[in-house]
Amino acid sequence: MSKSFGSTLAVDRLDLVIERGSFTTLLGPSGCGKTTTLRMLAGFYEPDEGEILIGGARQNEVPPNRRNVSIVFQDYALFPHMTVLQNVSYGLKLRRVERGERERRVARVLEFLGLDALGARHPHELSGGQQQRVALGRSIVMEPAVLLMDEPLSNLDAKLRIRVRAELKEIQRVLGITTVYVTHDQDEALSLSDMVAVMADGQLQQFSDPWLLYHAPVNRFVADFVGYANVIPGRVEHAADGAAEVALAARSDAPLRCLDPAGRAHAGRDVGVMVRPEWFTVTGAAAERTTVDGLTFEAEVRATSYLGAFARAWVDVEGLAEPLVIEVNVTRRDQLERGTHLRLHVPHDRAVVVDGG
Ligand SMILES: Nc1ncnc2c1ncn2[C@@H]1O[C@H](COP(=O)(O)OP(=O)(O)O)[C@@H](O)[C@H]1O
Ligand SMILES: [Mg+2]
């Protein structure tokens, strides 16, 4: 589907098949069209072109209250003058669900979300995490075919966000409710989702599971957006079947065998090859040549930031204009001191062609 606002093409021919019961995330920077997509699914906007089907049934022109979807907003949009119980009951009341059934369903949801003791409170008497759960309760009590969530954790502080994230995943798993979730946070997307749709400028970049998104991004944008990407220039020597041998600028002696998920590599073409910071194995310069099946670079540490569990270092490699970023579990205090000489080993069949071609 597509949607424009004046001359802004907010969503550009987005085409997705979302599996029943799955947790799917729309991921992308601010302004890439995530909320517009969600609002079209909810029925608040009509697509200019295209079709929305739920369980095979066309949803276009069906008003929001007639669609079997429910949306959790970023600011929760709880009714301030209503209690928790009334907030969660409200949608069922609107749908004229009979009182006995309504009370049963609300009680079950409150208990499920650990809110049963808070039924009489008003939103201002709740913590941020509790408000978030009430907003979720208000949606899931409707037993929608599709649950939509627009950045629902962004108002929580960092630690709470990680806890509620884990809760949310568990709730979705137990209920098996088809969920479409919007975020600009790659950690959230990778940790919650069965499938992630990465968007940029209204267009779908990649739709795959979190593992492939991280390990086989189809372009530079996706590579950069879901983690740190070292991109090393090189020239393709040979390519076939989603794999390529690339002679890297920094190493003229042997090519590196790379993944080529988007089929960019053709013999003779210049490409960029992506290596994640933690994909390097690092040894001291004095170490014996390791048996890593791949390439070895000589490097020198330019700067380090120590992060507790691991350290990140910027290292200069001869033949590369930009320093590479590596991440290492350090076991000695001075392991990555500025000026230290290191050997970086990059295994075959791990680096990814993300640029050029
Ligand atoms: N109601 C609107 N009127 C005009 N432009 C809009 C409206 N809603 C969104 N846009 C524009 O559409 C683009 C996508 O917006 P949005 O879907 O909100 O992005 P995201 O949720 O990914 O941050 C942006 O350029 C935004 O400015
Ligand atoms: Mg948005």
Tally of CA atoms within 13 A in the half-sphere of 47 that contains its CB: 22
Instruction: Return the number of other C-beta atoms located less than 10 Å from residue 349's C-beta.
Output: 11
Mean pLDDT of 311-316: 96
Which ligand is nearest to the Cα of residue 31, counting in written order? 1
For the question of whether the overall pTM of this predicted structure is more than 0.75, the answer is yes
Closest listed ligand to the CA of 202: 1
> Which ligand approaches the C-alpha of residue 29 most closely?
1
What gap in Å lies between CA 210 and CA 212, rounded to an integer?
6
φ/ψ (deg, to 5) at 59:
-105, -15
- Ligand 1 neighbourhood includes 8 CB (under 6 angstroms): yes
Give the pLDDT band (50/70/90) at residue 154: confident
How does pLDDT run across 155-203, given as a tens digit for each residue?
888 888 888 888 889 889 998 999 999 999 999 999 999 999 999 999 9
More confident residue, 201 or 293: 201
Nearest CA to ligand 1 atom 16: 33
Report how far residue 82's alpha carbon sits from residue 104's, in angstroms, rounded to the nearest whole number.
19
**Which residues fall within 8 angstroms of residue 79, CB to CB, at 6 or more apart?**
86, 87, 90, 123
Residue 52 carries which side chain, given as an amino acid letter?
I
Q: For ligand 1, atom 12, name the residue with the nearest CA.
A: 10
Structure tokens at 8: 């802004």
Q: Which atom of ligand 1 is nearest to the CA of 30?
A: 23
CB of 356 within 6 A of ligand 1: the answer is no
Q: How many CB atoms lie within 10 A of CB 132?
A: 24
Buried b (16+ CB within 10 A) or exposed e, 215-251: bbbbbebbbebbbebbbbbbbbeebeeebbbbbbbbb
How is the chain split into domains, by residue range? 3-221, 228-356
What's the pLDDT band for 223 if we cut at 50, 70, 90?
very high
Q: Chain-wide mean pLDDT for the chain?
A: 93
Q: Is the CB of 330 under 6 A from ligand 1?
A: no
Fold type of domain 228-356: OB fold (Dihydrolipoamide Acetyltransferase, E2P) (2.40.50)
Query: Does ligand 1 have an atom closer than 6 angstroms to the CB of 27?
Result: no
Q: Is the CB of 30 under 6 A from ligand 1?
A: yes
Mean pLDDT in residue range 76-103 = 94
211 three-class SS: helix
Residues 54 and 69 sit within 8 Å (Cβ to Cβ)? yes
- Can you list the alpha helix ranges (DSSP code H) found in 16-127? 34-42, 84-94, 99-112
Model confidence pLDDT, tens digit, residues 255-280:
999 999 999 999 999 999 999 999 99
Choosing from 1, 3, 4, 5 the residue with most ligand 1 atoms within 8 A of its CB, the one to mutate for a pocket test is: 5
User: C-alpha distances in angstroms, 43 versus 13, 71, 218, 274, 357?
Assistant: 17, 10, 31, 40, 41
Distance 75 CA to ligand 2 centre (A): 12
Q: From the CB of 252, is ligand 1 less than 6 Å away?
A: no
If one residue of 35, 37, 38 were mutated to test the ligand 1 pocket, choosing by the most ligand atoms within 8 A of its CB, it would be 35
Distance CA(146)–CA(350), nearest Å, equals: 36
Q: Is 31 in the pocket of ligand 1 (CB under 6 A)?
A: yes
Domain covering 3-221 in this structure, CATH number: 3.40.50.300
Contact 29, 221 (CB under 8 A): no
